[in-house]
Amino acid sequence: MSFTVIIPARFASTRLPGKPLADIAGKPMIQRVVEQARMSEAKRVVVATDDARIADVVQGFGGEFCMTRADHVSGTDRLQEVGQLLGLTDADIVVNVQGDEPLIPPAVINQVAKNIFDNKDASVATLCEPIKRAEDFFNANIVKLVTDQAGMALYFSRAPMPWARDAFAVDKVHLPVSDLFVRHIGIYAYRVSLLNAFVNWPQSPLEKLESLEQLRVLHYGHRIHVAHALEAVPGGVDTPDDLARLCQLLG
């Protein structure tokens, strides 16, 4: 099983500017993400950035980086450019690890890579975890999904789904007991052939409506494999409060 991890890292952030370079117990965040990814079975770990400040830091701790254009409309477009710059072939596999997840378990990186290798009909593989609280189920910032019997995604949505008609007619405060309520975890494995096709597809209507890129993949007839994460995936760092909690945890 051979795959490359690509970690997009942008300096601009509305809520936490310079986020990839934020100090976490003596190390910049991007270094911690790279170190986690290096503990996976990836043959190569590359930081994708359009900012020289991030590139300098990555080079300073001995990491590999790839400079990309600054005008990409999506993270998937940036991945495709990196694949081209690295000379990856259509048959190669890349795993996209977010640059703000310094606690990403190496096991889930390996898991999503293995899943795309094992499921030849899938162009993309990703992960999910159970939803246990009604407030998460009804939260539009938490993406829900449903799959078929083979673990292939049928749909992703910000809306609460699937809808437990009878149970919610009585009580919307508590979730009924079911393993069908799951949230998407934003780690992906891609075939490079899919990335090369993706950047040439117009946005799909549902993608625009939901603001979810993965719906473009389904719209154009490709399959996304989904599995439950083998380990809990801690949330990323989005706000100063998130950063403070992480510093306290690792300090």
In the chain, the percentage of residues whose pLDDT exceeds 70 is: 100
Does 14 score more than 80 pLDDT?
no
**pTM (2 decimals)?**
0.94
Which candidate, 149, 148, 143, 156, places its Cα nearest to that of 219? 156
Provide the mean pLDDT of the chain: 94
Which candidate, 106, 134, 112, 127, places its Cα nearest to that of 36? 106
**Range from 10-24, 134-148, 216-230 carrying the lowest mean pLDDT:** 10-24
* Gyration radius of the chain over CA positions: 18
Rounded to an integer, the average pLDDT of 134-153 is 96
Q: Report the pLDDT value the prediction gives residue 75, as an integer from 0 to 100.
A: 83
Which candidate, 14, 8, 101, places its Cα nearest to that of 48? 8
Residue 120 · residue 102 · CB < 8 Å: no
Outline where the chain has alpha helix (H).
Answer: 29-38, 52-60, 75-85, 106-118, 134-137, 165-170, 192-198, 205-210, 214-219, 240-250
Which candidate, 95, 98, 15, 30, places its Cα nearest to that of 61? 30
Phi, psi (deg, nearest 5) at residue 64: -105, 135
Does 242 score more than 90 pLDDT?
no
Question: 67-81 pLDDT, tens per residue?
Answer: 999 888 888 999 999
Peptide bond into 28 cis (omega under 30): no
Residue 68 · residue 11 · CB < 8 Å: no
Question: 20-35 pLDDT, tens per residue?
Answer: 998 998 999 999 999 9
pLDDT band, very low/low/confident/very high, at 228 (cuts 50, 70, 90):
very high
Question: 177-207 pLDDT, tens per residue?
Answer: 899 999 999 999 999 999 999 999 999 999 9
